[in-house]
Structure 1
Amino acid sequence: MTTRSTFSKKGETTDVDISSTTIRHYESRDNSDVLRMFTQCHIDLIIPAFRRALKQPSNISLLLVCGTVAYVITQSVMAVMLVMAVLAFVIYYACKMVYIDFIELMLNTEMADIEEHFLRPPGSCFWVAEANGKVIATAGLKKTYEKPQTCKLTRVFVDPHYRRSGLGRKMMQEVLGFIEHNGYKTCVLDTTVLQVAAINLYKKMGFRACGQISFPGNTCVIFLSQVYLLKFERHF
């Protein structure tokens, strides 16, 4: 059964026209658009992650120490610049691999069969927002078995052209309605520290921060990239 919610532009913060946008359950014909958005939204985080990583105390110390050692050994400013450039590239590569590895992992697991992981299990769902025949936003919800009556919100993405348009809030309202209808008492989610707009939206929708966890991946890569996940929850 497909549910639909149509909404207007009222309250938007941009001039993007979402008057014809429809929020509905995922269908198999959406697969290519959903995977494209999932992949691109993660790739878009690589450069912001690199910029943030360069400002982290651990990486600043690493650059300074290695630069100092290079100068002591060679007495050459060019050697210092070369060493620091190489280290900066290593940090960039670490940021890139964090997301590339995660994309590959998800494309080979839950995103490989969205219907199996999000639509068939009771109490789970996957939504898309569609405009002009194109998927422009997604959201997934799964029942968790770690705690009773708890679900996890995941795969919340909005096409860059439709951000700050009110679409994210509309998607969240659809999801929260489903959560309440299915009798969940708690909803949890995690998001990277880089996704400031998403974090602000979650807070506005009643979620509160409850900790942080390491991003899945190689320990050295995570250390250099300084990418971690913030945990949020909301009780109903």
Structure 2
Amino acid sequence: MRVFTWLPLSSPGLSLVDFETQTHRSSMAPYHIRKYQESDRTWVLGLLSQGMAEHAPHTFRHLLKLRRTLALLLGGPLALFLVSGSWLLVLVASLTLLIAVRLLAQYPWSQFVANSLYTDMRDISKSYFSEPGACFWVAECEGQVVGMVGALPAEEPTLQKEQLQMLHLNVALEHRRRGIAKALVRTVLQFAAHQGYREVVLTTSMLQYAALALYQRLGFQITRQYFFSKSWVLIAVPQFQLTYSSSGSQPF
């Protein structure tokens, strides 16, 4: 049984530092949330890569259910058989198409990692600690980084003082279902309140079911649906922007 004590921001004696480093105990080993350090970089990048790679099998299954994919997988080999009469060619073609669909399912996630490594995750300390209003946290358990989350001001200049972006929420597979993701999200919400932001926004995909459910339980609402790029259109996986507002039913 997990035992957490969450104190409101206005509670006497609770500073932001206290919140960021508090320890959480569960039926397994305790973990604590703290600010990112450069020594965490290898762990954090590993979590990023592993977390995105997890979505490829779900995306593959999603693609196999699409009518256009089924038409390609069935119609292509059938047309080849009618032309060649060779079952061997049909088998080779079918396997080739399946491999192509599998690679297509993996591509957007690997592209996301590559883009992150080229932008904010290239130099985490510089991206998240060079200016006020941004931060990056990790969840540590028994000397290992098992979770992470970042927060940056909105990219649009007019919203930078009002809107905080939550990025890269991820928890190692073997440490899930312990409340770590929820604790990391609440860390961001507390930070947003402390910094005077009015909203926290994030983006997740249609296929990230557990993450989407978690955000909605914590008070986030879907405010936008869109496709991040052409590759996402190709695999028919839209992204959702979710917003947590201090003026909503669940204030910071």
SS of the aligned residue for 1:104 comes to helix
Matches within 5 A, 1:40-119: 40-119=50-129
Match of 2:249 in 1: none
State the identity %.
Answer: 27
Match of 1:127 in 2: 137
**Greater relative CO (CA pairs within 8 A, separation 6+):** 1
Residue 193 of structure 2 is aligned with which of 165, 176, 180? 180
Over the aligned positions, Cα root-mean-square deviation in angstroms equals 2.0
Matches within 5 A, 1:1-236: 3-9=20-26, 17-19=28-30, 21-146=31-156, 147-148=158-159, 149-216=162-229, 219=230, 221-236=231-246
Could you tell me how far apart the structure 2 residues matched to 1:74 and 1:223 are?
34
Shift of 1:114: 0.7
Q: Check conservation: 2:202, 2:242, Cα contact below 8 A.
A: yes
Q: Check conservation: 1:54, 1:88, Cα contact below 8 A.
A: no
Could you tell me how far apart the structure 1 residues matched to 2:81 and 2:148 are?
51
Q: Check conservation: 1:53, 1:224, Cα contact below 8 A.
A: no
Say if 1:223 and 1:67 are closer, same or farther in 2 by CA, change over 3 A: farther
Match of 1:12 in 2: none
SS of the aligned residue for 1:191 comes to strand
Amino acid in structure 1 at the alignment position of 2:172: D
Amino acid in structure 2 at the alignment position of 1:86: T
TM-score, with length taken from structure 1 = 0.87
Tell me which moved more, 155-164 or 101-110: 101-110
Q: Check conservation: 1:136, 1:158, Cα contact below 8 A.
A: yes
SS of the aligned residue for 2:197 comes to coil
TM-score, with length taken from structure 2 = 0.82
Could you tell me how far apart the structure 2 residues matched to 1:84 and 1:23 are?
48
Shift of 1:152: 0.8
Shift of 1:76: 4.2
Say if 1:224 and 1:54 are closer, same or farther in 2 by CA, change over 3 A: farther
Gaps (5+ residues) in structure 1? 10-14
Amino acid in structure 2 at the alignment position of 1:66: G
SS of the aligned residue for 2:190 comes to helix
Q: Check conservation: 2:189, 2:200, Cα contact below 8 A.
A: no
Shift of 1:229: 2.0
Q: Check conservation: 1:192, 1:230, Cα contact below 8 A.
A: yes
Shift of 1:231: 1.7
Q: Check conservation: 1:95, 1:225, Cα contact below 8 A.
A: yes
Q: Check conservation: 2:227, 2:233, Cα contact below 8 A.
A: no
Amino acid in structure 1 at the alignment position of 2:150: G
Amino acid in structure 1 at the alignment position of 2:127: H
Q: Check conservation: 1:95, 1:224, Cα contact below 8 A.
A: no
Could you tell me how far apart the structure 2 residues matched to 1:228 and 1:67 are?
30
Q: Check conservation: 1:23, 1:128, Cα contact below 8 A.
A: yes
Tell me which moved more, 49-58 or 110-119: 49-58
